[in-house]
Chains A and B, each alone.
Chain A
């Protein structure tokens, strides 16, 4: 180590290390500027303008907040889609988390054919793509088996007020799809389940704790980080999914004569804000829950 501790060429060791470190991440920093930050700022700029794209140039006319106020106050379909998206995400996130946790607990056990069941439960990671999902939903193959098509259920739903009905309808018609979004989350839960020290279980068992208590007092608290990661991951995947109706609406607006790119950019930022707000809410809820558990 003595050789390394001596500064060479007048640069301190610390600075040298930092320089080499920057060398490794430089390509990412440039990429971040070129492909994320600059386009993001440009989109923000567009959102305050009327944008007309011609074959050779892009003409901007400053319109202040007009795009935003149109989206929030005069466009009837956008707000409706946005509310639908919020409800659907809020319904889907807890289901994905609970389902992923249960499957991960199962797959963490020792039993024969475990490999086979793992293959089944990770399969949707591989095949979940927009067009495939669209085809499957169009055929009604994604609904909760046997329940969604019963006439009694339809009658029951018709009686309910709209605010209650739409989440339930969503749940029934896309139940399996919601489950299909839990592949990666199962993996994350499994990984953190395997990090729990086995001797804690034994100690708890010797002290007379039932398995149920072990779950609530040991397993669940140690899954809190994974739960947070999974919640964020689920929101992001659902929100970026190309079959998402809000995304499709924004995409269609981009090519619309009336409004065009400027309006679509404003929509994109409103959408982004809603998504961040949802993450914030879920984050706070989970934090609260973790705090209460640790007390």
Chain B
């Protein structure tokens, strides 16, 4: 009854709201114990929901066939069963697809990062006619859906006999048209803009050439941007499946490609009519495959996470 009387402004001025607001938006005083507890509780709850699919994936992947059938077993398996991983390892043809994935993600990423830094440097340090047009086109390349350009590219590659070869992904990266290249160019533009010009100008007075200035002075000072670009680039190339499926089909098989035809691959290794019921394809094996798929990225992420988080703030991806 009375609740209806409270207007919105009153609600905002209510002590409880103020307390919540206080700890959310950086309160003037030190945070009290209650707000700290609320903060951690919220973070843990959101974090748990956020990670739930991953936890589910992991716990399912170590369930034995018995555990899968047992309705009592939800989150904690009765035993650590690694048979699923053995099968998934074979089905994914892991050692080969892993190598292919590393090749397909690392090589274009390195080239893309290098080219993006050159282009970003040109945009940040030189005045020339048509720069706004270049920026506009950059944004367009980011927005254009892949299926609007992929068919002619595929036909050209087919004529050149490049379909199925890693070159089909490397060439665009080499020309600054790799997967999401525009973002990396903007990152480099941003970080070169924020660096002082003094050193470069004095080197120019000493007669150093543009390329030399770029490689000896600009590159080392923009190191965080290189690390960020490289990490994001590798991650995005690794996870990309639209281009890889079209350009590499019939040639190299990457891990995500193999995962997307997991069922077929499983049934050709373990024909459903032949194997016993425990060796049929079940969700535990699928989840093991999925987990094996993201494992290399997880490892990379946990090793490099400090860089990942910190340098993004340094380079300021916002592009303002």
Contact = CB atoms under 8 A, between A and B. Distances in A.
Given A127-B298, A131-B259, A132-B293, A39 B149 contact: yes
B185 A131 contact: no
Interface string B179-197: 0000001000000000000
A191 B305 CA distance: 16
B303 to A, nearest CB: 11
Contact of A38 (B57, B118, B152): B152
Chain A binding surface SS class = helix
A187 interface: yes
A119 B300 CA distance: 12
Interface stretch (B78-86, B140-148, B219-227, B266-274): B140-148
B297 A126 contact: yes
B122 A31 contact: no
A229 B175 contact: no
Contacts of A123: 50-51, 54, 298, 301
B241 interface: yes
Given A25-B119, A117-B43, A39 B152 contact: yes
A124 interface: yes
Contacts of A250: 147
Chain B interface size range:
35 or more
Chain A interface size range:
35 or more
Contact of B12 (A195, A212, A242): A212
Nearest to B150: A39
Contact of A261 (B121, B151, B287, B317): B151
Contact of A24 (B122, B144, B306): B122
B128 A17 contact: yes
Contacts of A36: 140-141, 144, 149, 177
Chain B binding surface SS class = helix
A205 B47 CA distance: 31
A40 B177 CA distance: 13
A281 interface: no
Contact of B126 (A17, A35, A53, A131): A17
A128 B145 contact: no
A139 B144 contact: no
Contact of B294 (A126, A184, A242): A126
Contacts of B18: 210-212
Interface of A: 3-4, 14, 17-25, 27-32, 34-36, 38-40, 42-43, 46, 53, 58, 103, 105-106, 108-109, 111, 113, 115, 117-132, 134-136, 138-139, 141-142, 145, 176-177, 179-180, 184, 187-188, 190-192, 194-195, 201-202, 205, 210-215, 219, 225-226, 229, 232, 236, 239-240, 242, 247, 250-251, 254, 261, 264-265, 268-269, 271-272, 275-276, 279
